Amino acid sequence: MDLESKVKKMGLGHEQGFGAPCLKCKDKCEGFELHFWRKICRNCKCGQEEHDVLTSNEEDRKVGKLFEDTKYTTLIAKLKNDGIPMYKRNVMILTNPVPAKKNISINTVTFEWAPPVQNQTLARQYMQMLPKEKQPVAGSEGAQYRKKQLAKQLPAHDQDPSKCHELSPNEVKQMEQFVKKYKSEALGVGDVKLPGEVETRDTDKNNLNNGDRGTSAAVGAMEGKSPDQKASQYSCYRCKLNMKEGDPAVYAERAGYDKLWHPACFVCCTCSELLVDMIYFWKNGNLYCGRHYCDSEKPRCAGCDELIFSNEYTQAEGQNWHLKHFCCFDCDCVLAGEIYVMVNDKPVCKPCYVKNHAAICQGCHNAIDPEVQRVTYNNFNWHATQECFLCSCCSKCLIGQKFMPVEGMVFCSVECKKKMMS
């Protein structure tokens, strides 16, 4: 690829969602503008998932690529014009007659995703068992939640080297091998079924070798049980509570069909978020979302959010960083060997800290250098010097003395307080 093509490609990636409003910062953000390598907005520092970016096509491509070369190719379709695999989301449209004054009107509800099952009643039951605020009804809080979790749980840069920043050929090769491995060993999509149905099917399979006599006997045995007996047979792998008779359950093939979950319990063991579109990763008896499965396998750079495939990286403040990405969160200058201050778990260089984040001294009204001593009371700060930490009335130095604070002022005595407040 020549330089012009690379620049064009990079430009297109950075134009996606340009100017989209931030749902978190509202009017404080001028609109989405992607940082060169951080995966955040340059204006408000929030992630793309916090902005109202129309990305359904992009998300469908991302999930389509995830399912490529797996057993889940039935969930994707390749476009004729470019051969790129696209995720075939199962969209469910429900129509309910609503009585009106003169006639009956039709109320339509569209779910932007629903379990890919033939029985729509089962899919509807599944949806009703999810918390209302997480049901992906078009235009609702639930649809926004699904979109945000797609971005968070399944980052494109966890599976596609072309979405990463300046990987070496060796790193690209390692990443491709890593992705191939997790696709074959961990990736799965949940199945929604009635518990009794699964047991009956398993019994049917077992009896194929013994003729047909056992099948009807097994079904008969199930039918002969009371609803209470049937329900108490199955308990959720996560919450351990019994399944209710007639309620659908979620199964994970990689976990084995002896385990099942309530729809609302099919969550990542690390972040406890609902596994988006029931896409899971199974490891050591636990369900993970894509992000936290990858975190359990590889270090992740706290700067660019990408997995680290290089042998050389740095650890600071309990986090991992590419050597080139241990930078000031405000100005992007490299911090190796420099003084920095952590602000909201992000490293900031000393000049940026003094300019943008430093506490202001109530005495001299200047920023307080992070390396000098200060006095803090409630949300008020002073330089711990004879020039700044003084009685607001008589200017007596209060360092090492008792003082009386009143709304940003400090006094050495009741008399000084009375004089100032009168």
pLDDT in tens, 13-44: 456 778 899 989 999 999 999 998 999 999 99
φ and ψ at 355, to 5 degrees? -75, -40
pLDDT value at position 51? 87
User: DSSP letters of 296-357?
Assistant: HHS-BBTTT-PBP-SS-EEEETTEEEEGGG-B-TTT--B-TTS-EEEETTEEEEHHHIIIII
Residue bearing tokens 């509570």: 241
Residue-wise pLDDT for 35-77, tens only, equals 989 999 999 999 888 888 766 788 999 999 999 999 999 999 8
Counts of helices then strands in the chain (DSSP H, E)? 11, 17
Using H for helix, E for strand and C for coil, what is the string for 114-131? CCCCCCHHHHHHHHHCCC
| DSSP H stretches of helix in 262-413 | 290-297, 350-352
- Least Cα distance to 154 among 23, 85, 73, 66 occurs for 66
Could you tell me if 236 and 243 are in contact, meaning their C-beta atoms sit under 8 angstroms apart? yes
Question: Strands 409-411, 404-406: parallel, antiparallel or unpaired by DSSP?
Answer: antiparallel
Residue-wise pLDDT for 384-414, tens only, equals 999 999 999 999 999 989 999 988 899 999 9
Lowest mean pLDDT among 271-280, 296-305, 400-409: 400-409
pLDDT value at position 315? 92
pLDDT value at position 232? 54
- Least Cα distance to 253 among 289, 278, 217 occurs for 278
Residue 41: count of CB within 10 angstroms of its CB: 24
Distance CA 342, CA 365 (A): 23
pLDDT value at position 204? 45
Which amino acid is present at 338?
E
E strand or H helix at 375? strand 374-377
pLDDT value at position 367? 94
Distance CA 408, CA 115 (A): 58
pLDDT value at position 105? 67
pLDDT value at position 49? 85
With a cut of 80, say whether residue 225 has pLDDT above it.
no
E strand or H helix at 222? helix 213-223
We find that the CATH architecture of domain 368-421 is Ribbon (2.10)
pLDDT band for 212, please (50, 70, 90 cuts).
very low
pLDDT value at position 48? 85
Per DSSP, the three-state class of 301 is strand
pLDDT band for 107, please (50, 70, 90 cuts).
confident
pLDDT band for 261, please (50, 70, 90 cuts).
very high
Structure tokens at 379: 């949300």
pLDDT value at position 177? 98
Distance CA 229, CA 223 (A): 11
Residue-wise pLDDT for 332-390, tens only, equals 999 988 999 999 999 999 999 999 999 999 999 999 999 899 999 888 999 999 999 99
| DSSP H stretches of helix in 77-128 | 120-128
With 0-12 / 13-18 / 19 or more C-beta atoms within 10 angstroms meaning exposed / middle / buried, residue 48 is: buried
φ and ψ at 195, to 5 degrees? -50, -45
Largest CA distance in the chain: 102
pLDDT value at position 176? 97
pLDDT value at position 208? 37
Q: What is the CA radius of gyration of the chain?
A: 29
Residue bearing tokens 């200058």: 333
Query: In sequence order, which residues have a C-beta less than 8 Å from that of residue 26 and are 6 or more positions away?
Result: none
pLDDT value at position 187? 98
Spans of all domains in the chain: 26-82, 368-421
User: Which percentage of the chain shows pLDDT scores above 70?
Assistant: 85
pLDDT value at position 98? 60
pLDDT value at position 324? 92
- Tell me the pLDDT of the chain averaged across its residues: 86
